[in-house]
Amino acid sequence: MDPVALEKAFELYPEVKLVVCAELYGFPGDINKIKEICERHGALLIEDAAEAMGATFHGKQCGSFGDYSAVSYNGNKIITGSSGGCLLTNDLEVANKARKWSTQAREAAAWYQHEEVGFNYRMSNVIAGVIRGQYPHLEEHIAQKKAIYERYKEGLKNLPIRMNPILDDSEPNYWLSALIIDKEYMCQQVRDDSKALYTKEKGKTCPTEILEAISSINAEGRPIWKPMHMQPMYRMHECIGRGGSIRAKTNAYIAGGVKDIGADIFERGCCLPSDNKMTPEEQDRIIEVIRRCFE
């Protein structure tokens, strides 16, 4: 989330009272600035720290900035119970309310008494035990992920790419290493809602070619997460960029040249294999394949 765009969004929609901000790939953004903007406009902040367990910004843990926050224990996260997650809040009343809703909103009666709608969001004791058993290994996992990021950064240096940015006084958990290709080194690439095609050009490449190349050696990468405002169920809704509205009842850039930063990163970026069980030799092979895509 861009704090400048968030300020613009509040100018256009001052009645908004809830903001959800995601910390992608375990690399913190300027969450302090986002929190300050929300407080100034009287809005609550939900911090989506699903991928950022163990990451810090100004020495403070991700997941502790929002009025409410969440982390994920999905099977691909830095510690996992195969599924599930947790809600974080400093408000005991809120915590108790969420706990009640998660257990079908049952009232304190011998029979099944429900005075409001609830959900079955409980985590099993088995999964909770698996997760608690992994917490002592969190720092070890972060160190392994950081080593993977540093090997990519060293192995891909001198290529026209940039790795995940790291803000000053932040320490990511390096959950997922990603790159973005410089614009002038992008070959032609087109995507629809399910497929992608590209035209190979000498000295250039694109995310589709890189992902196909590493897949050929049985390694898995992925495109950058597709922005919410480009998803079919939201693409007819308005999205606010730094200079104003990016999309307004249309699926194209609006007149006035407002830059769609999210769409640009999606177009030029890809996520690299980042499993902490990957050996340095396996990673060197991936790096070699990526470098060949630029030949």
Per-position DSSP letters for 188-237, written without gaps between them = EEEE-SS-EEEE--TT-B-HHHHHHHHHTTT---EEPPPPGGGSTTTTTS
Alpha carbons 286 and 172: distance in angstroms, whole number: 23
**Per residue of the chain (295 residues), what is the pLDDT tens digit?**
999 999 999 999 999 999 999 999 999 999 999 999 999 999 999 999 999 999 999 999 999 999 999 999 999 999 998 888 999 999 999 999 999 999 899 998 989 999 999 998 888 899 999 999 999 999 999 999 999 999 999 999 999 999 999 999 999 999 999 999 999 999 999 999 899 999 999 999 999 999 999 999 999 999 999 999 899 998 888 888 887 787 644 444 443 456 788 999 999 999 999 999 999 999 999 999 999 999 9
Q: What is the distance between the alpha carbons of residues 216 and 219, in angstroms, rounded to a whole number?
A: 7
Q: What is the pTM of this model?
A: 0.90
